[in-house]
Amino acid sequence: MSTLEGLHVIGEANFSDHGANRLGASALMQGLADGYFVLPYTIGNYLAKAELKKIDADTPECKATVKEVEDKINKLINVNGTKTPSYFHRKLGKLMWDKVGMARNEAGLKHALEEIPKIREEFWKDVKISGTGAEYNISLEKASRVADFLEFAEIMAYDALDRDESAGAHFREEHQTPDGEAKRNDDDYRYVAAWEYKGVGQRPELHKEQLEFENVKLAVRSYK
């Protein structure tokens, strides 16, 4: 459990003490092990012992959240455009795959940051939702997820552009050794980063926490 009561951290994020010779599948195996075997017992044990206080639905915070969700649902349904949520999902996915993938460069990332707002604008003008919001609606659910993906994709592109180095398998093509290995810049990028979302059309704010290594020496990861 994290420092926030009831919020548990799983997968590679839970500790991630990897050496320089870490294999690429380690993160995947941590996610699988935690997801399949650890998490069900962790959550079950927590819920069995935790004191779950009753939440008052009349609080201002609860009412504001419900209204925000209802407004989003109504907005999506009322667009009544011509293209399915899957159309925009594929369009955004291809852009991210081509320009913000494991190998990327400055020109491609800047192109992505120009294109994502255009896809978002088209989405909110021309997405079509079948059915209503009064029942379980797969089309509406996917459209809501795609709307979130558009915001998250933009922050991912900002982050990839800001980190002007190659780190592990996250490869900036401008920064590589003569034999094609990732070339890190530990002097300028030895920090943990968190981006604060500022709203649609606003540049997110970068928060940094510098990392100091006292007992572990930084080493280059090599997949050779």
Following DSSP, what letter does each residue of the chain receive, concatenated?
--SSTT----GGGG-----TT--TTHHHHHHHHIIIIIHHHHHHHHHHHS--PPPPTTSHHHHHHHHHHHHHHHHHHHH--SB-HHHHHHHHHHHHHHHSSSEE-HHHHHHHHHHHHHHHHHHHHHB---S-SSS--HHHHHHHHHHHHHHHHHHHHHHHHH--S-BTTBEETTSB-TTS-B---TTT--EEEEEEP--TTSPPEEEEEE---SSS--------
State which fold the 57-210 domain adopts.
Methane Monooxygenase Hydroxylase; Chain G, domain 1 (1.20.58)
Decide if pLDDT at 105 tops 90.
yes
CATH 1.20.58.100 residue window(s) in the chain: 57-210
Task: Mean pLDDT check: name the lowest of 7-11, 64-68, 165-169.
Answer: 165-169
Q: Strand pairing of 171-172 and 103-104?
A: parallel
Residue 30 pLDDT > 60: yes
> For 128-136, what is the mean pLDDT?
89
Phi/psi at 218 (nearest 5 deg)?
-65, 135
- With a cut of 60, say whether residue 27 has pLDDT above it: yes
pLDDT band for position 181 (50/70/90)?
confident
The pLDDT assigned to 17 comes to 59
Q: What is the reported pLDDT for 18?
A: 57
State the virtual CA torsion across 92, 204, 200, 173 in degrees, nearest 10: -20
pLDDT band at 180 (very low <50, low <70, confident <90, very high): confident
Calculate mean pLDDT across residues 199-215.
91
